[in-house]
Structure 1
Amino acid sequence: MQRAILIMFVAMSLIPAGDSAGKILTSELGVAPVFVAWSRFALGTLFLIPFVPPQTRDLFGNWRIWVRAAMLCGGITCIQTALQTEDVANVFAAFFVGPLLSYVLAALFLREPITILRSTFILIGFLGVVLVIRPGIGVSAGLLWALAAGTFYGIFLTMSRWLSDLAPPLALAFSQLIISAALLLPLGLLHLPDFTMPVVALTATSAICSMLGNLLMLFAYRLAPATRIAPMIYFQLLSAVALGWLLFGALPDMLTWVGLAVILGAGIISTRLR
């Protein structure tokens, strides 16, 4: 169990690190968010090719696999667009509307059991998101993009549960990468940046950190029960705050701190309930 927790700790640090590299690309080096998203999928596909299980080819005839990949494609593109103008911690807080939405969708469409207590904490977590984004006339475009990313991600998570029995995790991961890379190929090529050393290095860092983070998460789920591992997903919020401070000198204001604490606490408690 300790090994699985350590792996998840590393994984949940790598994913915000990949997004932070993407933020530097889009906000400081002028790279288009859609190129960052496409390059992440394209490079991830290349890295995984040697490890793809033989049965992966059969997945591409299933329309649900394509819809699932399109949801991931939309989510990553939206979150990179959000990071172009918004702090990392704020984006991740708004993005965590995804797991909350997934809970509702899984209950409605997959008939997963729900309880009043868990639903209460899910609602509390949503109130934490509201504290961060503070909807109204002055809500930023970046946070709206982050909410869109979370919405796409919530649908992606629900479809992942729906399709989890189709193939091994590595095959499903490869299918979503290669389909997303194909869907974004025209836009990615249309927004090619000047390939300076910083752009190349950060593009590779963004893709590698994201890919390794997600692969390590899959590996951790093989070592320990999902109910014990799931709360660690919320560590991304803490990593996002730390990286935002270290890389961009940005710290959340008081209301955002409260919102982050509410999301973190409600998320961990809800995943521990039976």
Structure 2
Amino acid sequence: MESKKRYKGIICIIMSAFCFALMSFFVRMAGDLPPIQKSFFRNFVAAIFAGVILMKNGVPFHCKKENLGYMLGRSICGTIGILCNFYAVDHLVLADASMLNKMSPFFAVIFSYFLLKEKITVPQGLFVIGAFVGSLFVIKPTFSNMDLLPSLIGLCGGIGAGAAYTMVRKLGERGEKGPFIVFFFSTFSCVVTLPWLLFDYHPMSLAQIGILLFAGLSAAGGQFSITAAYCYAPAREISVYDYSQIIFSAGLGFFFFEQIPDLLSWIGYAVICLMAVAMFLYNNRRTE
């Protein structure tokens, strides 16, 4: 039974990786619009999608009182993560932005220590440090690097996502349904970003509206898939498969935007992916 759940989690997390790569592609395609405006439309579509599923399945539109704090924490961290990620997507090579966002599993390990009381062993700590070193190759922290600020913001997006997914795992353990977690987060994000949208709305063409609707649909697919994945299995068993998004993003960036990451970025990708695989193998051996 446990292995069956793990396989379901793996399939779901690969599906989410593809959907999130598509989302980043559409966000980039939408052109020169504020990240907050892109975030609103992305989450608006996801909220409607989740609401329809809740009504269809007869799931109540409320959470347990004792879970409200985690639900708000997941929504706040997730909103910060999305805004930072969208900014990075607009200003960096698509694969770079995706890789910085994919630091989230390592930050999830750290947050799991504080929120889920899961102990961090010495090897796990070393893998997290190794991944952070790999991220420095992507960020390239020098004052002459024009992409430094977007890279740091992209890393903050990974931190926010790591905290959010840790709380998703906690909410799943406490019996909250995946569709409601997505609905609550998407609605919260829309409400938070709406005031900025009203005061600083940038007119959009029909093409941009259509592209952002596709971004929202892709995001909804990614949200449902990754929420299901972390409800099926713990991050330590399946998070490595989330790195398939880098392959999808690099392919989309190359074929549609003619983007080719530089050598240092490729070194960073290799280090981070190596740490992810090492973490995955270590955790599986430890579990056995």
Q: TM-score range by the shorter chain?
A: 0.7 to 0.9
TM superposition shift of 1:94: 2.0
TM-score, normalisation: structure 2: 0.84
* Alpha-carbon distance in 1 for matches of 2:202, 2:127: 44
Matches within 5 A, 1:149-160: 149-160=157-168
* Residue matched to 2:203: 194
* Residue matched to 1:31: 33
* Residue matched to 1:74: 80
Q: Does 1:162 align with 2:167?
A: no
TM superposition shift of 1:158: 2.8
| Counterpart residue type for residue 268 of structure 1 | V
Give 1:88's match in structure 2, choosing from 79, 86, 94: 94
* Alpha-carbon distance in 2 for matches of 1:237, 1:33: 21
User: Can you give the 5+ residue segments of structure 1 that lack an aligned partner in the other structure?
Assistant: none
* Alpha-carbon distance in 1 for matches of 2:170, 2:10: 26
| Counterpart residue type for residue 229 of structure 1 | I
* Residue matched to 1:248: 257
TM superposition shift of 1:220: 5.0
TM-score, normalisation: structure 1: 0.88
TM superposition shift of 1:223: 6.8
| Count of residues in Structure 1 that have an aligned counterpart in Structure 2 | 271
* Contact 2:169–2:234 (Cα < 8 Å) also in 1: no
Greater shift in the superposed pair: 88-97 or 255-264: 88-97
Greater shift in the superposed pair: 43-52 or 8-17: 8-17
| Partner deviation per Cα, 1:94-126 (whole Å, 9 max, x = no partner) | 223332222122223432022222222222111
TM superposition shift of 1:217: 3.3
> CA 1:223–1:166 in structure 2 vs 1: closer, same or farther (change >3 Å)?
closer
* Alpha-carbon distance in 2 for matches of 1:40, 1:233: 21
* Alpha-carbon distance in 1 for matches of 2:193, 2:119: 36
Give 2:110's match in structure 1, choosing from 104, 121, 138: 104
TM superposition shift of 1:176: 0.9
TM superposition shift of 1:204: 0.8
TM superposition shift of 1:227: 5.4
Greater shift in the superposed pair: 184-193 or 35-44: 184-193
* Alpha-carbon distance in 1 for matches of 2:14, 2:165: 20
User: Can you give the 5+ residue segments of structure 2 that lack an aligned partner in the other structure?
Assistant: none
> CA 1:245–1:153 in structure 2 vs 1: closer, same or farther (change >3 Å)?
same
| Counterpart residue type for residue 83 of structure 1 | V
* Residue matched to 1:171: 180
* Alpha-carbon distance in 1 for matches of 2:229, 2:74: 22
* Residue matched to 2:144: 138
Q: Does 1:16 align with 2:25?
A: no
* Structure 2 residue matching 1:36: 3-state secondary structure: helix
Q: Percent identity?
A: 20
> CA 1:258–1:32 in structure 2 vs 1: closer, same or farther (change >3 Å)?
same
Greater shift in the superposed pair: 114-123 or 223-232: 223-232
